[in-house]
A and B are shown apart, each in its own frame.
Chain A
Amino acid sequence: MAEVVLETHGLTMRFGGVVASNNVDFKLRARELRCLIGPNGAGKSTFFKCVTGLQTPTEGEVIMRGVETTHWMPHQIASLGVGIKTQTPNVMDSLSVFENIWLAARRFHAPRNANRKTQEIIERLALGSIARADLGQLAHGERQRVELGLVAVGDPWLVLLDEPAAGMSAEDVERMTEIIHELNKTAAIIIVEHDMQFIRSIAEMVTVFHQGKVLMEDHVDRVMSDPTVRNVYLGKKA
């Protein structure tokens, strides 16, 4: 079996009285693709924030490739090779598509190589025609794709995607799926999504969050047919 790249033990995050993450034990192996589902407020985004250092967990620990990173800063964790697309877009709107991706590439490469890597990603993501446009002027789907591009350009071995397909057209989602599969050849990926069809098309293993806790973790088919899961999550949607 592949090595474990991400592990959390008893991860807990409290905001005053709200327990956003509650004693989460989680394990992810190299090049695994995992979907994270759960109703709004289940603590999925909070889990991502704790893993990437955007928030410091109240209790518990985070271990990446055998190194404890619980109290590290975001830039230290990112420097290990961890990329995240946050739920709300985190991009530089007044800068061009090229500049956005270049800045990410430059972190790990000398200027000349950064230029080359940026060009490669821009071609791979079919962003060539808008490479010089400011990000703020682009359509939602394009911006999502750019954010994925600036994550991918750093050659991460762990990628967290918080609702990457939200608000995108079917065509955009299809393209997104392709990119994710490409990324998955070298990186372990966790995807938070609500779109069941998308999840079925992409994932095998699914972890269900509910009220900050891991409710269930199993193959996508078994998760989808589980009555408890249907109750807390699917039931509400139907």
Chain B
Amino acid sequence: MPGSLSKDAITIILVTAILTWVMPLIISTYTLTVLIVYGMLGLSLGLIWGFGGILCFGQAAFFGLGAYTYAIAAINIGESTVPMILAVLVPAVFAALLGAMMFYGRLTDVYLGVITLVVTLILFKFINSTAGPQYVIGDARLGGFNGIPGFQTLNIPGRPDDYIWGDSYFYVCAILLALVFFLVSALLRSSFGRVAVGIRENETRISLMGYDVRARKTVLFAAGAAIAGLAGALFANWSEIVTPSLFSLGQSAEIIIWCIVGGLGTRFGPVLGAAGLAYLKFLLGQQTMIDNTLITGLILVLFVLFLPRGIVPALASLWKVSFGRRPLGRIPQHRRMRNRERING
């Protein structure tokens, strides 16, 4: 990545400031809040898939796990600080265990996809079947397909009666997304992140350099789950109820589509893809003429056919072509031609 982390920080602060100022003039902060949450969820998969090459079909499982962890912990504890922390930790630990099993078991990518998908399905089925009164964790009833309503929502740390809601909650979510975005940038600029990209590019070579690919993939997978978990907790606070649909395969598929449309291998692409498509879905939800999923599917197909690298990479190359400096790639292009001339005679 070009630039430096301090430049990243400045860019992130500026963009966040501008967007949180301009966007509420166009869209209600209530809607924007959930777009931010989805953006964070998109970023979580964008990190592990786009930069680590791990295609997880079950990112929704960590999202739902974060939301449920928050709800259950909030009912039992009351104050929201510890539940928020748990909502990050529980999915991360769960993903670390699952990841270790998959990566140390030397599963191929296809099986990885299948297993993450099946785990999501199992969680969904399980939570769905917990309607009975015997399914309780502490004071919290799991509630099956009805979900869990009525938990303590976000409060100012240490002051359980001072709720953060409405516009304030929107700003908190925006700042958290900016923070997560910054942390992801820092991770990608660190040695760990650079090796992760190396793993995405050529796993064999990285292991022949002496890096333990299994351990590194496990850690990255857990980091992605932690972010998805945080997004889940923020979603729970926004909707004030958690239901099994958070775990659904449809949700998982949507996250994958966000990443493809926004652009894999970029940090901003999955955020943009998530927020953009979620907003589109929101708009389409207000009418009944055209089916929602049909449109999402159509968009996916169009992107795969005409803009396979996604919006952000396409915009980036457009920018380079029109305003950028002469790309470095030109030089070796000439060299290669020279070499070919040499070989040909």
Residues of A whose CB lies within 8 Å of any CB of B are 52, 54, 73-75, 78-79, 83-84, 86, 90-95, 99, 102-104, 106-108, 111, 129-130, 132-134, 137-139, 141-142, 150, 154, 169
Bound-complex Cα distance A75 to B207 (A): 5
Bound-complex Cα distance A86 to B209 (A): 12
- Chain B residues with CB under 8 A of A134: 329
Interface of B is mostly: helix
How does the 8 Å CB contact mask read for B308-345 relative to A, with 1 for contact and 0 for none? 00000000000000000000110111011001101100
- Chain A residues with CB under 8 A of B191: 106, 111
Cβ-neighbour of B198 out of A78, A95, A129, A130 (below 8 A): A95
Interface residues on B, range: 20 to 34
Please list the 3 inter-chain residue pairs (A to B) with the smallest Cβ-Cβ separation, ordered nearest first.
A92-B201, A78-B210, A79-B210
- Chain B residues with CB under 8 A of A54: 204, 208
In the complex, whether B202 has a CB less than 8 A from a CB of chain A is yes
Interface of A is mostly: mixed
The total of Cβ contacts below 8 Å across the A-B interface reads 89
Bound-complex Cα distance A111 to B191 (A): 8
Assuming the contacts A95-B197, A95-B198, A139-B339, asked whether A133 and B210 have C-beta atoms less than 8 A apart, the reply is: no
Cβ-neighbour of A138 out of B207, B208, B332, B340 (below 8 A): B332
Bound-complex Cα distance A194 to B206 (A): 28
- Chain A residues with CB under 8 A of B335: 130, 138-139, 142
In the complex, whether B187 has a CB less than 8 A from a CB of chain A is no
In the complex, whether B135 has a CB less than 8 A from a CB of chain A is no
In the complex, whether B212 has a CB less than 8 A from a CB of chain A is yes
- Chain A residues with CB under 8 A of B195: 103, 106
Jot down 9 A-B pairs with beta carbons below 8 A, ordered by A.
A54-B208, A91-B202, A93-B202, A103-B206, A106-B191, A111-B191, A129-B331, A138-B336, A139-B339
User: Nearest-CB distance from B52 to chain A (Å)?
Assistant: 14
